[in-house]
Amino acid sequence: MTLRGRLTTAFLAVVLGPVLLGAFFVGATFAATSRDRSVERLDLAATAVRTSMGALCQRLHAAADAVALAAPEQRVAVANQVVARGLAAAVRFDAFTTPGAPGQPWARCADATPGYQAVSARVEIRDTTGAAVGAVEVAETVDAAFIVRLAGASGAAITLRGGSAHTTESPDARAAVLQAADRVRGDASTGTAGDRYIRRLDGAPGQPLPLVLSVPRSEPQGLYAVLVAAVILAGLVAVLAAWWLARTTTRPLAELAAAADRVAGGDLAARVPVRAHDEVGRLAATFNRMTRETQAYVQALTASRDQLRGHLAVLGDTMSSTHDLQRILRVLLQTAQAATGAHSGVVLLLDQATGVLAAQCAEGLDDDWAELRVLPGSGLLGTVAATGEPRRGRVDRDGPPLAEHEPRCRTYIAVPFARPAPVGDVEPPALGVLALYDRLGSDEFDDADLVTLRTFAGQAAVAVENVRVHEEAQRLSLTDPLTGLWNYRYLKESIRREVERASRFGRMLTVLALDLDRFKEVNDTYGHAAGDAVLAEFARRVRSEVREVDLAFRQGGEEFVVLLPETDARGGAIVAERLGASVRDTPMPIGPEASIDVTVSIGIAVYPDHGVTGAQVLDAADDALYAAKAAGRDGYRAATGGKRAPILEIPVPAGAAPPDDDLPRAGGASPGTQPPRQGRGR
């Protein structure tokens, strides 16, 4: 048989066979496809309903929080304001309910309590000890207008099951929809009601209303007659055209073969004349398009190489000109994406305090990437960090299963990075992971991409280590090497910042100026080594008596300063009493078996009562300290005078215990390290 005859036979077999099979397949699957589309619409509508109800519940819960947090005497006014602003339809607590409240029952957002008249959120009212003393419940009326708005947001008809059965269905369809919903079992189950598909949604936390969603069914009209006519027509056309097409195929094939030989020889400008619009003509057009795209791809590779060089130049400039870790990591990630053609990517660093991998920067991901947290050993990123081995492949084929918050992807490549280790040392644990997702224009990442990403991961490790070294150097420049407290340089910046914060929010700031009594005698009698030990121990006791938000400084010699944000004079006096007792009651160790008794004098000043700038408040605290020294030491004095009316002087209760009252007290330890050496006393 000649080539023309074989092509004719093959054409008829290839064309008519698939046409017949395709006609039967289309007829059999069209109805199922129509149903799937309707079900998909219901899925989207259900998601929209849950999202809308979730947003409503969050708004009601926020309004309930506002009422619960209000002072008891203001709670009614706040509740009426919530209703007046349209944040809710009703608020009730204790024996009070705002006017016009909807009837019972109310469906609660938190536990899906059955109800049809309103949707509500409930928040407990707690006293200062944390004990529940009541509850606030804020509700939004569920009426016909509410159901109409919900249906508008979802794109489907909605019927409320129970109660007044508000609905956007027609009167004829409502009864059929409710009956069909009763036959469906389980939340989010699908059924049919006449010419409609329905989806039943039971009450659940965040969406407490029992609802029925429905969309119309779309059935094929005259599909089978059209399919039969199309098959007959295709058969006639195929038989008539087969011989002619086969006869005209050989010449274009010869031209195509000649052009392919030229391309194989490196001539990407070779083209085939398109003599017809049949399969061979399309093959010739495809060949021409392939050669054009190959030329464009070569040009793109050249441009990509130049672009990569530019990115590398930007990366080098960034790493040499800044210590902004976020900026460096973002430039690294963008450069890695440009080099590999990835659609998206993320860089995670290991939080040493919590042991969790946290996202630092991302490209091409949703806005919630900042919430990405992965435990080592969990999911793809956690596995790479835990094993220290890079991975690439497809999620559906190679795994591992992605963790709950990891980016959804089809293909991936992930490389761990760690700080550089000295020669001969054990490889350090991973500092983080650099991961790219879904390579553009290709199915999977390859080994070349893995080598490239390893290079960028190494750059990320160096960047992280450099930034941490820089931060540690900055920290050391701001701390006192003997006591581990902040130094005088940082005191000036901190008191300025704290005064600005107190002024902006209308708060108070208390400054304590501390000076160890007769410290020069300690140095003269026991030596400077003993003085250093006393200063280091005193700093430790200061840290143990103040809160985490408080700041402790060594101003110089045996002089110290403590900043107490959001603390008044009385609170400062309480802290001063505790600090004095801590020093007075326990001797200071100066050797393995030696200790000495030491006392401290303290001056107290408050912003804005004793000054309107940090320097003024600090000077006032120093004046009060001198007054405490003059009064016999081992006590404290509060500053007098200043910007406002004079503050009554707080008496010096030497050796007194803190008063037994319910005023707020400072507590907890502030960060600091015990340094090894150096100190001076006077």
pLDDT at 681 over 60: no
Cα 307 from Cα 554, distance rounded (Å): 52
Confidence of residue 222 (pLDDT cuts 50, 70, 90): low
Q: What is the pLDDT averaged over residues 416-431?
A: 59
Burial class for 577, CB neighbours closer than 10 Å (0-12, 13-18, 19+): buried
pLDDT at 64 over 70: yes
In Å, the largest CA–CA distance within the chain is 124
Cα 230 from Cα 224, distance rounded (Å): 10
Q: What is the DSSP letter of 401?
A: P
558 in catalytic set: yes
Note the pLDDT tens digit of each residue in 36-45: 788 888 888 8
Note the pLDDT tens digit of each residue in 444-487: 888 887 787 777 777 777 777 777 766 666 666 778 888 889 88
User: Coil, strand, or helix at residue 24?
Assistant: helix
- Of 260-269, 415-424, 636-645, 672-681, the one with minimum mean pLDDT is 672-681
Distances, alpha carbon 434 to alpha carbons 460, 576, 619, in Å = 8, 50, 52
Predicted pLDDT of residue 406: 83
User: Coil, strand, or helix at residue 481?
Assistant: coil
Cα 9 from Cα 470, distance rounded (Å): 77
Confidence of residue 321 (pLDDT cuts 50, 70, 90): low
pLDDT above 90 as % of the chain: 21
Amino acid at 676: P
pLDDT at 663 over 90: no
Distances, alpha carbon 252 to alpha carbons 66, 134, 158, 258, in Å = 79, 88, 61, 10
Predicted pLDDT of residue 311: 60
Q: What is the pLDDT averaged over residues 77-104?
A: 88
Q: Strands 118-126 and 196-201, how do they pair?
A: unpaired
pLDDT at 163 over 70: no
Across 21-25, 89-93, 162-166, which has the greatest mean pLDDT?
89-93
Give me 578's structure tokens.
């505790």
Predicted pLDDT of residue 499: 94
Give me 192's structure tokens.
């049919």
Candidate list 558, 559, 566, 649, residue with the active-site label: 558
Confidence of residue 552 (pLDDT cuts 50, 70, 90): very high
Considering the domain 488-638, what is its CATH architecture?
Answer: 2-Layer Sandwich (3.30)
User: What are the residues whose beta carbons fall under 8 Å from the beta carbon of 109, sequence distance 6 or more?
Assistant: 53, 56, 57, 60, 61, 119, 120, 121, 205, 206, 208
Cα 372 from Cα 403, distance rounded (Å): 10
Confidence of residue 655 (pLDDT cuts 50, 70, 90): very low
Note the pLDDT tens digit of each residue in 594-630: 889 999 999 999 999 999 999 999 999 999 999 999 9
Note the pLDDT tens digit of each residue in 504-542: 999 999 999 999 999 999 999 999 999 999 999 999 999
Predicted pLDDT of residue 223: 65
Cα 645 from Cα 622, distance rounded (Å): 19
Amino acid at 400: P
Cα 407 from Cα 191, distance rounded (Å): 34
- Of 346-360, 401-415, 421-435, 547-561, the one with minimum mean pLDDT is 421-435
Predicted pLDDT of residue 110: 83
pLDDT at 647 over 50: no
Torsion of Cα atoms, 609 then 613 then 618 then 621, to 10°: -10
**How many residues make up the chain in this entry?**
682
Q: Which residue has the tokens 């992930």?
A: 414
Predicted pLDDT of residue 323: 61
Question: Using an 8 Å Cβ cutoff, are 110 and 121 in contact?
Answer: yes
Q: Which has the closest alpha carbon to 406: 368, 443, 440?
A: 368
pLDDT at 660 over 50: no
480 Cα distance to chain centroid:
36
562: part of which helix (H) or strand (E)?
strand 559-565
Distances, alpha carbon 647 to alpha carbons 80, 229, 516, 644, in Å = 41, 101, 25, 8
Give me 21's structure tokens.
């099979």
What residue spans define the domains of the chain? 10-216, 322-470, 488-638
User: What are the residues whose beta carbons fall under 8 Å from the beta carbon of 437, sequence distance 6 or more?
Assistant: 342, 343, 344, 345, 364, 407, 409, 410, 411, 412
Cα 665 from Cα 541, distance rounded (Å): 16
Confidence of residue 420 (pLDDT cuts 50, 70, 90): low
φ/ψ (deg, to 5) at 591: -170, 180
Q: What is the pLDDT averaged over residues 71-81?
A: 89
pLDDT above 70 as % of the chain: 80
607: part of which helix (H) or strand (E)?
strand 600-607
Q: Residue ranges of the alpha helices (H) in 276-394?
A: 279-321, 325-340, 379-387
CATH number of this structure's domain 322-470: 3.30.450.40
User: What are the residues whose beta carbons fall under 8 Å from the beta carbon of 361, sequence distance 6 or more?
Assistant: 326, 329, 330, 333, 346, 347
Cα 642 from Cα 640, distance rounded (Å): 7
Q: Is the pTM of this model over 0.85?
A: no
Residue 546: which region, alpha, beta or left (left: phi > 0; alpha: psi -120 to 50)? Answer: beta
Q: Which has the closest alpha carbon to 680: 391, 389, 480?
A: 480
Q: Which residue has the tokens 């208390």?
A: 510
User: Coil, strand, or helix at residue 98?
Assistant: coil
Note the pLDDT tens digit of each residue in 560-596: 999 999 999 999 999 999 999 999 999 999 888 888 9
Confidence of residue 664 (pLDDT cuts 50, 70, 90): very low
Predicted pLDDT of residue 143: 86
Bigger pLDDT: 442 or 157? 157
